[in-house]
Amino acid sequence: MTMQNVSLKTSRLVLSLVAAGVIGGAGATLFETRHAHALGLPPAVSQPVAGAAVVTAPDFSSITERYGPAVVNISVTGTTKTAYSGGGEGGDPFGNDPFFEFFRRFQQGQGGGRMQPREVPTHGQGSGFIVSADGVILTNAHVVRDAKEVTVKLTDRREFRAKVLGADPKTDVAVLKIDAKNLPVVAIGKTSDLKVGEWVLAIGSPYGFENTVTAGVVSAKGRSLPDDSFVPFIQTDVAVNPGNSGGPLFNARGEVVGINSQIYSQTGGYQGLSFAIPIDVAGKIKDQLIAHGKVEHAQLGVAVQQVNQALAESFGMAKPEGALVASVSKGSAADRAGLQPGDVIQRINGQPIVSSSDLPAFIGLASPGDKVQLDIWRKGSGESVVAKLGGFSDKPDTVADSGMAGQGKLGLALRPLQPGEKRQAGVPGGLLVEDASGAAASAGVEQGDVLLAINGTPVQSIDQVRAMVAKSGKSVALLIQRGDNKIFVPVNLG
């Protein structure tokens, strides 16, 4: 599912989301001494803590010595159309890295005139790690994008020409294969076992400096990023530099729990926000790429938005959790299952949906044809529906941005839509906002918007709106259409 932001007031983040490859975590998860001995890792110095069990930090040198040989350097050559003319013959050594594209554009904007696009050679570097002794390697899809030739270099200095078995841009996972036997491999862990606050370690090739080790802690799990991705990222505070893309993120037991992938920055440089693809996700994508060379992602066919406190109160919910359905694509899996705008999806196959981004991440990693049970909140009570997921050719699922959050108590001057206006807006009914002031204007409702529903109930007349507002509590949820976009707007009535 494509995770695109749908908002009535589009806002751009003043930052650079850079697929530059993160490099490892910082530090180490504290764990009991007996775990270290079980792994054959020498324990570090223990410091007793009053009222707590004695813990010890893992030995990073042992993890690096044991699994460092399974981390590889990846060099890529290709061609691209570009107006950039600097960097010397062949371009810079990281020409395939979006991190450097940020600076190229900046340089052109500062001093360059208009230049005609031309085919130029590109050279990129990244990292990867061996997952099977016969030469299967995991890395980022963006590392090998547009590659004509991929070379893998091992820590013993041997080099191999690699074949790209497949790449999935939606999850940024790629699988390579080299012709070699008896290679060192990493141990694979479970991201589901990873805890916020755990120490993590990464090994990669920043700027071509092979087998560079860094460490940090897990800052958060299940992060969604505004980059059209299905991935519930692991956020860490590990240092990130170009060339680290595709490298492994280890836990303190020496198990790979993620693929270092992106940084979040306002300057284009590392600012303590790094993101890794969970290995649970990467493993599933790897299996599909090896078997079929491509990945089929599923679709539900909804646009969803966050449930904040005001919306939760409007819908009579105990907590502001779930994915609020702003619109349903006609003929989609959601439409066939009977989902409606105003439904709040609270669980999927028993798994809680806390943030709206949890839903696209779950659906996007399912397969077309899968049946899922959705527990929803509809008009003050809970219900369950079953949906058979569609394929990616269907209208994509989206996340609606709630950036905009009514005369009288609501603050809206309304009139019924004329038949021609209904046809133009593509709606069967609703009321046109002729003027907005007071509470509704403060929430972001504007002249020209179409009011479709209040608290999930479609509105057809001004008298109906008055009656519903009079019966409402401190807030109401207005379903507004502006252009082709629909979104629920919480309005605080005081």
pLDDT digits (tens, 9 = 90+) for 85-110: 444 434 444 445 554 444 454 444 45
Q: Which residue, among 289, 204, 183, 288, has the nearest Cα to 250 in the 3D structure?
A: 204
The class (CATH top level) of 412-492 is: mainly beta
Q: List the catalytic residue out of 172, 343, 375, 397.
A: 172
How many C-beta atoms lie closer than 10 Å to residue 454's C-beta?
A: 23
3-state secondary structure of 206: helix
Does 16 qualify as catalytic in the annotation? Answer: no
| Strand pairing category for 212-223 and 187-188 | unpaired
- DSSP-derived secondary structure for 94-141: TTT-HHHHHHHHHHHHHH------EEEEEEEEEEEEEEETTTEEEE-G
Tokens 């893309």 belong to 245
Does 245 qualify as catalytic in the annotation? Answer: yes
Residue 260 CA to residue 248 CA, distance in Å, equals: 6
Q: What pLDDT score was predicted for residue 405?
A: 32
Q: What pLDDT score was predicted for residue 139?
A: 97
137-176 pLDDT, tens per residue?
999 999 999 889 999 999 999 999 999 999 999 899 999 9
Domains 302-400 and 412-492 share a fold: yes
Q: What pLDDT score was predicted for residue 357?
A: 77
Q: Which residue, among 246, 205, 389, 402, has the nearest Cα to 322 in the 3D structure?
A: 402
Residue 494 CA to residue 31 CA, distance in Å, equals: 51
Q: What pLDDT score was predicted for residue 54?
A: 57
Q: Give 10-residue mean pLDDT values along the chain (494 residues).
A: 39 37 31 35 47 62 93 89 48 49 48 58 90 97 92 95 94 96 96 92 88 92 73 88 89 95 72 89 94 89 88 91 88 91 94 85 85 94 92 55 48 82 81 83 87 88 83 85 87 80
Q: List the catalytic residue out of 16, 75, 219, 245.
A: 245
Domain assignments of the chain as residue spans, ordered by start: 10-69+185-290, 302-400, 412-492
| CATH number for domain 10-69+185-290, candidates 2.40.50.140, 2.40.10.10, 2.60.40.1930, 2.40.50.100 | 2.40.10.10
Does 397 qualify as catalytic in the annotation? Answer: no
Q: What pLDDT score was predicted for residue 56?
A: 62
Q: List the catalytic residue out of 59, 75, 97, 142.
A: 142
Q: What pLDDT score was predicted for residue 305?
A: 86
Amino acid making up residue 424: Q
CATH architecture, range 302-400: Roll (2.30)
